[in-house]
Amino acid sequence: QKEVEQDPGPLSVPEGAIVSLNCTYSNSAFQYFMWYRQYSRKGPELLMYTYSSGNKEDGRFTAQVDKSSKYISLFIRDSQPSDSATYLCAMVDTGRRALTFGSGTRLQVQP
């Protein structure tokens, strides 16, 4: 079993929809949580970074962490075709520096 599970998709939504992307994890030592966006054949781009349980909002993006359930989410409001990409969740535990990634969810926003 992988430490971080993420549905690979693809997830196809119409433009303007609210998108929900999720990851579950098994390692309770994970304390820092990040979401990256990766366009095809490019490096991952950091979107959101959270530490505590709860919500964090940045523009059209909201990151949600529920440590008791070991579940994190990324919501995208008013989705745009330019949001079409693979979204990767990543986590760090307190004893290390390395990120542990999910396998990524491919999102397609249809115009």
Closest CB to another protein among 16 and 54?
54
Q: Which tokens is 108 given? A: 């397609």
Measured from the CB of residue 69, what is the shortest distance to another protein in angstroms?
21
CA distance 102 to 70: 13
Closest CB to another protein among 36 and 83?
36
Measured from the CB of residue 17, what is the shortest distance to another protein in angstroms?
24
Measured from the CB of residue 111, what is the shortest distance to another protein in angstroms?
25
Closest CB to another protein among 62 and 100?
100
Q: What is the pairing mode between strands 11-14 and 105-110?
A: parallel
Q: Which tokens is 41 given? A: 């054949």
In the block, tokens 């820092």 appear at 32
DSSP state of 69: T
Measured over the CA atoms of residue 103, residue 85, residue 87 and residue 35, the dihedral's sign is: positive
Closest CB to another protein among 41 and 68?
41
Interface residues with another protein (CB under 8 A) are 4, 6, 8, 32, 34, 36, 41-46, 49, 88, 90, 92, 96-104
